[in-house]
């Protein structure tokens, strides 16, 4: 079973989905989250400048579109490098064991 994602991984997943712009429903499904989590994270990510929200008007309907900022893209890249380094230290690659022939 995969370990649960931490706060940073959840934030990263939201920002990755929002790179090209995404509605809240897209964020929920593509980042594999629920609406309660999205409602909690979006204001935090906006407050620190990692994501921005734009309201688009379609007739009488308003659509919220979230897009990752330049600062958010830098965060995603930096976090990716940090997590990769951590995984190499925590889960080092083991040399393959020789295959034993059955005879």
pTM reported for the whole predicted model: 0.79
Domain count, the chain: 1
**CATH code (residue 83):** 1.10.10.10
| Residue among 79, 81, 89 nearest 5 (CA) | 79
Which tens digit of pLDDT belongs to each residue from 78-98? 999 988 887 777 766 665 656
Determine the Cα–Cα distance for residues 70 and 54; give it in Å rounded to an integer: 15
Pair of tokens at residue 29: 């499904």
Q: Which residue has the higher pLDDT, 91 or 39?
A: 39
pLDDT of residue 2: 59
- Please indicate, yes or no, if residue 36 is contained in any of the structural domains: yes
């Amino acid at each position: 079973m995969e370990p649960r994602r931490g706060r940073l991984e959840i934030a990263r997943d939201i920002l990755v989905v929002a790179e090209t712009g995404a509605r809240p429903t897209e964020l929920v499904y593509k980042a594999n989250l629920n609406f309660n989590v999205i409602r909690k994270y979006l204001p935090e990510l906006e407050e620190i400048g990692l994501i921005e929200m734009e309201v688009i008007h379609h007739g009488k309907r308003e659509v919220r579109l979230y897009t990752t900022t330049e600062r958010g893209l830098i965060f995603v890249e930096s976090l990716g490098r940090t997590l990769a380094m951590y995984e190499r230290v925590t889960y080092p690659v083991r040399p393959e064991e020789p295959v034993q022939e059955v005879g």
